[in-house]
Amino acid sequence: MTRVFNFSPGPATLPEPVLRQAAEEMLDWHGSGMSVMEMSHRGKEFMSIHAETEDLLKELMGIPANYKVLFMQGGAIGENAIVPMNLIGATGKADYVLTGDWSKKSYKEAKTYGQVNVAATGEASKFTALPKQQEWKLDPGAAYVHICSNETIGGVQFHWTPDTGRVPLVADMSSDILSRPIDVAKYGLIYAGAQKNIGPSGLTIVIVREDLLGHALPVTPSAFNYKVQAEADSMYNTPPTYAIYIAGLVLKHVKKLGGMKAVAQHNEEKAAILYDFLDATAFYRNPIAKEDRSRMNVPFWLKDDALNDAFLKGAQERGMIQLKGHRSVGGMRASIYNAMPIEGVKALVQYMKEFERQHG
Ligand code: PMP
C-alpha cells in the first residue's frame, strides 16, 4: 500500500493513525459487537463517543463554559443561511467583511434574512490582502460581524482577531479551525465544516455563546435552530454519528501531538518551507501580502500557464495529488492542513525545484 501526499482543499488528508484505528474498530467497536456506523445515536456507546468528542474539542480549543458546542449538518454553506436565521433577528442587521470567495458567498446568502452591510472589503487589492481594521465601517447596531478567518481559495488568513466592540464576531473557520490556538472568548460564534482539519465531511461544528441563542427568525427549520439543538445536546435530529466518531479520534490524535501550540508550530514550519521557496524563485509566484498569507492553503502560479498540465502530471507521478488551483482562479494550490506531514511539503518543494530546472 502506498499513500499519496494529498494536497486537497477538502475533504482532505487525515492522520494515518486515525484511519488505522478506524479500520481496526470498523466491525466491532470496543467489544460492542457493532460498527460505530450501526449504533443508535441514543445508545450508551454512541452517547459516550459524542460526549468525549465534545469534551475534547472544548479542552483543546479552551472553549469557555458559557459557550455551547453543536454538532450539526449542512456544512459551512448551510451555515451561511443558518447563522443569519439564528442571529440577525436581534437587531435586523449584520456586517460582513469581504476577504475572498467564501466570505462573499456568506454575504450573498445572508441578504435574504435582513439588512446586510459590507463593513470592509479586500476588493481593491483583488483580495490579495485583508482590509485593515482602521478601514472597517462597523455598525454598532449590527447583530453580528461576519468574517472568514481563512479564505481557502484566495489564500489569505487572519493572523489577528478583529475588534468589534460589543457586537459579536462570527467566524467561518472551516479551513483553519484547530490549526492554531485561538481565544474563543473573542468570538460570539464560530462555525466550520469538519472536512479539513477535523474529520470527514457531513459534520458541521458550531461554537456559540449562550446569550446569542433565542433570536431565531420564525422561518428557521427546527433542526437548524441553535437553541433547539443546544437544548437537545445536538440530538434534536440524528447527528452525523460516524463523522463525530472520526472527529473524536482526530482530536485525541491532536491532543497526543501536544495540542494547539504544537500543531500551530508544525503548521508554521510547513508553511515557511513553501513560502520561503516561493519568495526565492521567479518561476513561481504567490501574490498574497506577506502578513496575510494563509498557513493552510497556499495558491501559486507558474511563470507560464501552458506548463500547468505538465506540472500536475509530474506531481501525480511522484505521488502528490490535488494541486490544481480552484477553477475560479486557476494556477496551483497546496492545501497543507494539520495532517499534511512536513515530508509532503518538502517533497513538493523538491519537485517544484526540479520542474523549474527543467522548464525555467
Ligand atoms: N467556507 C470555507 C472557508 C470553505 O473552505 C468551504 C469549503 N471549501 C466552505 C465554506 C463550504 O463548505 P461546505 O461545502 O462544507 O458547505
Which amino acids are annotated catalytic?
A: 102, 172, 196
The three grid cell numbers given for residue 301, joined into one nine-digit string: 502560479
Q: How far apart are CA 273 and CA 353, in angstroms?
A: 13
Direct distance between the N- and C-terminal alpha carbons of the chain, in angstroms, rounded to an integer:
34
Q: What's the pTM?
A: 0.98
For residues 188-204, average pLDDT: 98
Range list for CATH 3.40.640.10 in the chain: 17-256
Is 220 marked as a binding-site residue?
Answer: no
Q: Residue 150's beta-bridge partner residues? A: 157
Helix ranges, the chain (H): 16-24, 44-61, 75-87, 101-110, 226-231, 241-257, 259-280, 308-317, 342-359
**CATH 3.90.1150.10, applies to 258-359:** yes
Q: How far apart are CA 213 and CA 206, in angstroms?
A: 12
List phi, psi (to 5°) of 115.
-90, 115
Share of the chain above pLDDT 90, in %: 99
- Whose Cα sits closest to atom 9 in ligand 1? 76
Judge whether 156 and 117 are in contact, CB under 8 Å. Answer: no
Residue 100 near ligand 1, beta carbon < 6 Å? no
User: 77-104: per-residue pLDDT in tens?
Assistant: 999 999 999 999 999 999 999 999 999 9
User: 242-295: per-residue pLDDT in tens?
Assistant: 999 999 999 999 999 999 999 999 999 999 999 999 999 999 999 999 999 999
Is 237 marked as a binding-site residue?
Answer: yes
How confident is the model at residue 22, as a pLDDT?
98
Q: To test ligand 1's pocket by mutation, which of 98, 99, 102, 326 has the most ligand atoms within 8 angstroms of CB?
A: 102
Is 309 marked as a binding-site residue?
Answer: no
Q: How far apart are CA 157 and CA 39, in angstroms?
A: 39
How confident is the model at residue 226, as a pLDDT?
98
Range list for CATH 3.90.1150.10 in the chain: 258-359
- Whose Cα sits closest to atom 2 in ligand 1? 174
Question: How does residue 360 score in pLDDT terms, banded at 50, 70 and 90?
Answer: confident
Number of Cβ within 10 Å of residue 30's Cβ equals: 10
State ipTM. Answer: 0.99
Reply yes or no on whether the pLDDT at 112 is more than 90. Answer: yes
Judge whether 340 and 5 are in contact, CB under 8 Å. Answer: yes
Sign of the four-CA dihedral 104, 109, 110, 114: positive
Nearest to 215 by CA among 168, 183, 172: 168
Residue 75 near ligand 1, beta carbon < 6 Å? yes
Return all residues near 100 (Cβ < 8 A) that are at least 6 apart.
122, 127, 148, 151, 153, 154, 156
Reply yes or no on whether the pLDDT at 239 is more than 80. Answer: yes
Quote helix, strand, coil % in the chain, to nearest 5: 40, 15, 40
User: 9-49: per-residue pLDDT in tens?
Assistant: 999 999 999 999 999 999 999 999 999 999 999 999 999 99
Ligand 1 nearest atom to the CA of residue 150, by list position: 3
Share of the chain above pLDDT 70, in %: 100
Pick the CATH number of 17-256 from 3.20.20.210, 3.90.960.10, 3.30.70.270, 3.40.640.10: 3.40.640.10
How confident is the model at residue 1, as a pLDDT?
75
